[in-house]
Structure 1
């Protein structure tokens, strides 16, 4: 019996929907940000997935850039008191960061699967200074 063949899927589509990067059907995440052990549909082991702090960095950078532009526009056109920014603007920025975190994490895991990301493997070439003409 042969293993089923899975066609390559769009990393953007599967990632933003937080679906399995191989079959596109099974859920990638359990809870809000916890990556499952394996896909319940196709059995893909998700042990390769380690996006680390990438989703938080890209999410905050994107939301911060757009948010800063909107903040400046709001400040210069309406000129509200500071408490309006504390009550409205800051919670909106936090909610926007939380909203983009899941899709970005799914997209990064999909990219890791497609590009066969793996931990770095280092090989020793000997002791420090061996083989050097500087002794």
Structure 2
């Protein structure tokens, strides 16, 4: 694991593994020990182990978008196939298709959000030209990156 005050220094393969591991387990992308989430989808304010400030984390609608594109879209084809091939009564869809869609789309939201937050930290992703504005809004040092404070 990386020390709390030094940025993660790895090659691309290790960076990718680190992002997937910390995001999947909901662990801090800096130290790998603290919790990333305060509740199911709410990102905590600070890491309880190394003190990483999560104000940089802005996954916004990314988890929902990826869940819909990667999971819901193919599942819709499966449900349509079920309807076309077997023409089941509506209660079959109520007890099979609806739960499959709900669980299939909701369960992956947390790991996807964790991956996006970890990716933002590891790749130091932020909007171009916003470092000064962030420092002013959060009362932090403008000469240091938000990822290091």
Q: TM-score, normalised by structure 1?
A: 0.77
CA RMSD of aligned residues (A): 2.2
User: What is the 5 A alignment of 1:41-80?
Assistant: 41-80=49-88
Q: 1: CA distance between counterparts of 2:36 and 2:4?
A: 21
Correspondence for 2:42 among 17, 29, 34:
34
Q: Which has the higher helix share?
A: 2
Distance change (3 Å), C-alpha of 1:3 and 1:24: closer
In structure 2, the residue matched to 1:15 is 23
Separation of aligned partners in 2, 1:14 and 1:89: 32
Q: How many residues align?
A: 121
Gaps of 5+ in 1: 123-135
Q: 1:105 aligns with which of 102, 113, 127?
A: 113
Structure (1 or 2) with the larger CA radius of gyration? 1
Contact 2:72 2:104 (8 Å CA) reproduced: no
Please, which runs of 5 or more residues in structure 2 have no aligned partner? 131-149
For residues 60-81 of structure 1, what are the alpha-carbon distances to aligned partners after superposition, in whole Å with 9 as ceiling and x for unaligned?
1111123123213433443311
Which string of whole-angstrom CA distances, capped at 9 and with x for unpartnered residues, describes residues 77-105 of structure 1?
A: 43311232133211220122110000000
TM-score using structure 2 length = 0.71
Residue in 1 aligned with 2:141?
Answer: none
66 and 3 in structure 1: CA distance in 2 versus 1, 3 angstrom threshold: closer
